[in-house]
């Protein structure tokens, strides 16, 4: 499927910018579907469509815009303190109905493949003793994860009915320059010398550097062998929580101050503070099996986890 024209929703976001850079380097023509102008990497032609949950996308499709594949990154993302009255309904509106609108408009305008960027949270929050595989039974635990799973299922049904080739990619935590949320908070705490109760946490957590994710998404968008596939993507190294903090400290040039607090104590503190779920995730393994992506597409991550952490820490030092 000699893809040369790719439409990326959320092109000016954290992952979108990295993906567009990867695609442009490979010689593809890239159009970015964005809600606010600017912020896309040079060389991306922006399509500005500022509507809630991709309403009227079909009617607004620019005349002459042809694409072989759409990579759907735009989403309502997981947040720790959600202000929505009904979080699941809000997630569904964007992540399910919105994704279906993108798929329908793309199919109607001749797009042959849609790569849907889901989340490992659509499958599980912990690995239950072995790395999570694409064939495992999904058991999402929060509104974000449930909306991503529902989107996967709805898109697959649409693909079966319409003939659109739907490819699903499930990353775990994504990090890299411009990262936000919990990963940025962890770096900030380490850089400020804040003592962290993570020294005894041996839980292993898969992650993916944004450059590795972009590389994998480019493969999924352009490789005929990816057709109708579901793929887990990760760096291939699963650091412990304590090991991650120490590695970040080394690259931030500020040794992490880790207190050896037993996981049982953290769980007790979580129950007392109403944060049982957050603590359980912190002290539990979440490892991702990437064998299908590696074997089906001959994919290898171009960056090691240490290289990814070094780039992320260098960005933090230069900007904070």
For residues 171 and 116, the answer to whether their CB atoms sit within 8 Å is no
Of 15, 90, 7, the residue nearest 49 (C-alpha): 7
d(CA 214, CA 184): 20
Q: What are phi and psi of 293, to 5 degrees?
A: -65, -45
Task: Compute the Cα dihedral for 194, 197, 200, 202 and give only its sign.
Answer: negative
CB 96 within 8 A of CB 112: no
Residue 169 in contact with residue 216, Cβ under 8 Å? Answer: yes
Task: Answer for the pair 116, 167: CB distance below 8 angstroms, yes or no.
Answer: yes
Tokens 């099996």 appear where? 289
DSSP secondary structure letters along 70-81: EEE---PPP-SS
Which active-site residues does the annotation give? 144
Instruction: Give the list of residues 6+ apart from residue 160 with CB closer than 8 angstroms, or none.
Output: none
**CA-CA distance, 211 to 247, in Å (whole number)?**
18
Q: For residues 141 and 156, what is the distance between their CA atoms, to the nearest angstrom? A: 21
């Amino acid at each position: 499927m000699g893809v040369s024209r790719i439409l990326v929703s959320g092109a000016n976001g954290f992952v979108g910018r990295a993906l567009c850079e990867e695609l442009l380097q490979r010689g593809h023509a890239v159009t970015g579907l964005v809600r606010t102008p600017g912020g896309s990497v040079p060389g991306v032609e922006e399509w500005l469509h500022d509507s809630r949950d991709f309403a009227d996308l079909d009617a607004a499709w620019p005349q002459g815009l042809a694409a072989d594949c759409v990579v759907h990154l735009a989403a309502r993302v997981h947040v720790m303190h959600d202000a929505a009255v009904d979080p699941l309904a809000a997630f569904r509106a964007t992540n399910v109905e919105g994704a279906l609108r993108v798929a329908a408009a793309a199919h109607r305008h001749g797009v042959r493949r849609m790569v849907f960027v889901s989340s490992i949270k659509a499958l599980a929050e912990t690995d239950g003793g072995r790395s999570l595989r694409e064939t495992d039974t999904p058991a999402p635990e929060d509104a974000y994860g449930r909306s991503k799973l529902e989107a996967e299922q709805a898109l697959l049904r649409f693909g079966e009915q319409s003939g659109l080739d739907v490819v699903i990619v499930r990353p775990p935590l994504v990090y890299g320059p411009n990262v936000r949320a919990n990963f940025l908070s962890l770096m900030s705490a380490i850089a400020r010398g804040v003592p962290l109760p993570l020294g005894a946490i041996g839980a292993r957590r898969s992650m993916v550097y944004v450059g590795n994710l972009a590389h994998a998404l480019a493969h999924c968008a352009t490789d005929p062998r990816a057709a109708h596939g579901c793929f887990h993507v990760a760096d291939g190294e699963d650091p412990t929580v304590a090991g991650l903090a120490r590695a970040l400290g080394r690259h931030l040039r500020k040794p992490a101050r880790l207190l050896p607090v037993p996981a049982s104590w953290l769980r007790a503190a979580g129950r007392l503070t109403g944060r049982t779920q957050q603590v359980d995730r912190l002290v539990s393994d979440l490892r991702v099996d990437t064998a299908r992506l590696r074997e089906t597409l001959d994919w290898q991550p171009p960056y090691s986890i240490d290289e990814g952490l070094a780039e992320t820490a260098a960005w933090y030092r230069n900007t904070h």
